[in-house]
Chain A
């Protein structure tokens, strides 16, 4: 049976999904983490479930692409049952969606999640009373700890095929009910979608939300709906959709009063924490210190490990492999390349990547990102975006692919384009590896800090430029700021692994393969042809001609360019062959130029091929401009 997890953003749908399906749908403590539909087959209590994790929706009125995909899925697929996940600590508001989902006529189970948080807030919920009033099964869970989830699926199995029974207590005011009934009469007989009720069609038409319904309403039905809407609007002095929404609001308030008691919230340190984190001055100081500490910590851990591991790989090659190989032979070239590919992944990428991902996972789960959005909204307005874009931009420090996907929580196409382009300019973990392992390692951490700061300046200027080229009045931000949560260690580990697997399974083999290709190319002297072709570019940047091939590899994966650099130059001690200025120019160029292959695919999906081409051209031109300017400027500085 097909079961859809439906609920408001950040109520724990993906957490429930992960409890039963294994960690597959990334979770975090901010609204809009899930932007695509996750799907899994699971066997539970002897039943086979097709479980679908949908992006969070506040109502069935979609206001951004992520919500629209959830709504469209709900209305067009043959779902056997809805599990309506409710954040129990936000019961009164969440019940409005519960009532709206109930209107669909699809069998349904209500899952009261985060019961622990509700109690902490002093909200006591009488689940039995709620069940009686809603006439739906209500199950209490604390999904984060796996509590109640098995029971939830027992209820799901029992409820299959049972459409919600009519509940008189949930009826609306008589005049609005009359309008719904009148609307139902105008629906043609054919309107009985396999799983959606006639009442649901009627209500949606009354709200003026007819698009996306199948079968689509006829012109005659629409005309009738228009008439009924106007009548209702006249009676109430406001638009019909507002009247309907008030009815749901009214009923959910009533339900809440009947089934819940609000007492005193327990004293909570988290309120005091917000006084610091969101302070008009202290908040920014905290953010700055946190980011500094974060990247410095990653660098310290990474460089310490890199030193040890790189040494171990070098001496390993000399001790085990070199004696049985003759230098200058094909076998030597191949074995050496494979070894370097392995060493690059284990000794250079992983030492930086793992701490970076752990830190980022922690920040996501603790609920800090929406607070950054609050702090940055004013600044982002100046570059033509708003605070909601903070989430993609911050995720950009991890990986550009999820960052581009996260732009689905933005409503306007133009905002999504801007956020995508800017998020791709932010150094992702792969590029951070380049910055930390090259600039911080050879020139010192302060120089790396300079690269990050310079990057932020460029992102701001690029944003201003693009916003000027594509002006639009932004609808503005409205973002829920969730409660802090102490991240669960096992979830952080699973999340890091989910993202790390991408490197281990996809990039690392590519790295070893790329290393062999480059080794062979060098052996056969093909690399000279490529390098000669790219000579104008490397020449303009003031880099050795041998660096040319590495830039090509960088398009596959950004971290490849660093490792290929070592191979192309024939040493892992870059500092001995490149000058400080060259290291900086190389890093700057790698940071800004064309996004990697995986990102290009994600970009094409999110903003279309045309805009992707534009984004690529923009970032390449920007990288070239900055590279040449940096070469010239550093040349002056270091010569003087």
Chain B
């Protein structure tokens, strides 16, 4: 679950946004779209480029996605999750 930020995150990999991932899955963040504020908000809870996340479940009614990140569990609303671009790990 621990992660480190690779400095070469720009290779061609099949990617989707976090809200499109079917739980359960392990993913790695390749890009956080949107502005500085969103990026910082997510980074504070260890969702940043290079982080490995565990997508645990998704709430119904377009509710949030529950992800495990760096030992904690974080609920991320669909809107925010749409801005986190990830690659799904095997």
Q: Which of A263-284 contact B (CB under 8 A)?
A: 278, 280-281
B22 within 8 A of A: no
> Residue of A at shortest CB range from B69?
A93
Residues of chain B within 8 A (CB-CB) of A257 are 2
Give Cα A24 to B20, complex, Å: 45
Taking a contact as CB atoms closer than 8 A, the residue among B5, B39, B61 that contacts A249 in the complex is B5
Residues of chain A within 8 A (CB-CB) of B63 are 374-379, 387
Residues of chain A within 8 A (CB-CB) of B75 are 370, 373-374, 377, 387, 477-481
Give Cα A239 to B7, complex, Å: 13
B25 within 8 A of A: no
Give Cα A379 to B62, complex, Å: 8
The answer to whether A63 touches B41, judged by C-beta atoms less than 8 angstroms apart, is yes
Query: Interface digits, B55-90 against A, CB 8 Å rule (1 contact, 0 not)?
Result: 001011111101000111111111110000000000
B33 to chain A, nearest CB (A): 13
Query: Interface digits, A475-503 against B, CB 8 Å rule (1 contact, 0 not)?
Result: 11111110000000000000000000000
Residues of chain A within 8 A (CB-CB) of B80 are 475-478
Give Cα A63 to B59, complex, Å: 25
Q: Which of B39-64 contact A (CB under 8 A)?
A: 39-48, 57, 59-64
Chain A's interface size range is 35 or more
Give Cα A242 to B44, complex, Å: 11
A578 within 8 A of B: no
The answer to whether B77 touches A476, judged by C-beta atoms less than 8 angstroms apart, is yes
Residues of chain B within 8 A (CB-CB) of A91 are 71
Residues of chain A within 8 A (CB-CB) of B43 are 242, 245, 249
The answer to whether B71 touches A89, judged by C-beta atoms less than 8 angstroms apart, is yes
A452 within 8 A of B: no
Taking a contact as CB atoms closer than 8 A, the residue among B2, B4, B41, B70 that contacts A478 in the complex is B41
Give Cα A378 to B75, complex, Å: 12
* With A90-B72, A477-B64 as contacts: A374 and B59 at CB distance below 8 Å: yes
Give Cα A378 to B64, complex, Å: 7
> Residue of B at shortest CB range from A97?
B44
The answer to whether A478 touches B74, judged by C-beta atoms less than 8 angstroms apart, is yes
A520 within 8 A of B: no
Give Cα A250 to B39, complex, Å: 17
Give Cα A477 to B66, complex, Å: 11
Residues of chain B within 8 A (CB-CB) of A58 are 44-45
A256 within 8 A of B: yes
B11 within 8 A of A: no
> Residue of B at shortest CB range from A121?
B71
> Residue of A at shortest CB range from B82?
A476
* With A377-B59, A480-B45 as contacts: A475 and B37 at CB distance below 8 Å: yes
Q: Tell me how many residues of B have a C-beta within 8 Å of chain A.
A: 37
Query: Interface digits, A586-603 against B, CB 8 Å rule (1 contact, 0 not)?
Result: 000000000000000000
Residues of chain B within 8 A (CB-CB) of A481 are 66, 72-75
The answer to whether A93 touches B41, judged by C-beta atoms less than 8 angstroms apart, is no
Residues of chain B within 8 A (CB-CB) of A90 are 70-72
Give Cα A92 to B3, complex, Å: 10
Taking a contact as CB atoms closer than 8 A, the residue among A61, A63, A256 that contacts B2 in the complex is A256
A381 within 8 A of B: yes
The answer to whether B74 touches A475, judged by C-beta atoms less than 8 angstroms apart, is no
A555 to chain B, nearest CB (A): 37
The answer to whether B77 touches A386, judged by C-beta atoms less than 8 angstroms apart, is yes
> Residue of B at shortest CB range from A283?
B59
* With A253-B2, A374-B59, A387-B63 as contacts: A59 and B77 at CB distance below 8 Å: no
B36 within 8 A of A: yes
Query: Interface digits, B1-32 against A, CB 8 Å rule (1 contact, 0 not)?
Result: 01111010000000000000000000000000
Query: Interface digits, A33-63 against B, CB 8 Å rule (1 contact, 0 not)?
Result: 0000000000000000000000000110101
Residues of chain B within 8 A (CB-CB) of A278 are 57, 59, 66
A124 within 8 A of B: no
Give Cα A257 to B72, complex, Å: 17
A241 within 8 A of B: yes
> Residue of A at shortest CB range from B70?
A93
Give Cα A58 to B72, complex, Å: 13
Residues of chain A within 8 A (CB-CB) of B47 are 478
Residues of chain B within 8 A (CB-CB) of A479 are 64, 74-75
Residues of chain A within 8 A (CB-CB) of B5 are 246, 249-250
Taking a contact as CB atoms closer than 8 A, the residue among A63, A281, A373 that contacts B37 in the complex is A63
Give Cα A481 to B46, complex, Å: 14
B16 to chain A, nearest CB (A): 18
* With A373-B75, A374-B59, A379-B61 as contacts: A475 and B41 at CB distance below 8 Å: yes
The answer to whether A93 touches B62, judged by C-beta atoms less than 8 angstroms apart, is no
The answer to whether A61 touches B61, judged by C-beta atoms less than 8 angstroms apart, is no
* With A58-B45, A63-B41, A377-B64 as contacts: A480 and B59 at CB distance below 8 Å: no
Give Cα A236 to B66, complex, Å: 31
A-B contact pairs, 12 of them (CB 8 A): A89-B71, A93-B45, A93-B46, A121-B71, A239-B36, A241-B36, A249-B48, A374-B59, A386-B77, A477-B77, A478-B42, A478-B74
B-to-A contact residues, CB < 8 Å: 2-5, 7, 36-48, 57, 59-64, 66, 70-80
- 13 additional contacts (CB under 8 A) given A249-B43, A378-B59, A477-B76: A90-B70, A123-B71, A236-B7, A249-B48, A250-B4, A278-B59, A281-B60, A374-B66, A377-B77, A387-B64, A475-B79, A478-B42, A480-B73
Q: Which 6 A-B pairs have the closest CB atoms?
A: A378-B61, A378-B63, A58-B44, A476-B77, A476-B79, A476-B80
